[in-house]
Amino acid sequence: MTVETPSETKAIEFPDGIPGFPHLRRFALVEIVEDGAFQLLQSLEDEDVAMVVCVPWLFFPDYAPELAEDDREALGLERPEDAVVFCPVTLEPENDSVHLNLMGPFVVHRETLIGRQVVLADSDYPVRATVDLGGA
């Protein structure tokens, strides 16, 4: 099955899939609103699978994820500036509070558009960092 997205959308390839959805490999970043802080990571193979994602530094300017050598090599990342980083966004249904997963960011090579969701297991970054939208 294919999912319709704007024709200029470039596909990001996750060769290993992503945790929870290992069978899905091709995704696209879609804007929710023009120049918005949040984007949609939409599966190109299953229209029901999409999540909001966000560049972490907008809300956590000191965020400094350290990639394992295996991750850097798997992505062909030679320089930090080759990496595009964004984090999954979850919502607490009870109170509509917004969280970023800082422990499991998506890292995509800017040129090849090959990506991986890395797991920063040895970091102290939480899977649910509360976003202060009022500060945005």
Partner 1 sequence: MLILTRREGESIRIGHDIVITVVEVRGSQVRIGVDAPRSVQVHRAEVYDQVVEENRAAVRTLDRSAEILRTQVPPKEH
The contact set with partner 1 (CB under 8 A) reads 15-16, 18-21, 32-33, 35-38, 40, 48-52, 58-59, 70, 73-74, 88-91, 93, 96, 98, 101, 103-104, 116-117, 119, 121, 127-128, 133, 135-136
68-94 in b/e form (b: 16+ CB < 10 A) is eeebbebbebeeeebbebbbbbeeeee
Tokens of 3: 């999912």
List, in order, residues 6 or more apart from 124 with CB less than 8 Å away: none
Nearest approach in angstroms of CB 71 to partner 1 is: 8
Nearest approach in angstroms of CB 90 to partner 1 is: 5
Q: Do residues 43 and 21 lie in contact, with contact meaning Cβ atoms separated by under 8 Å?
A: yes
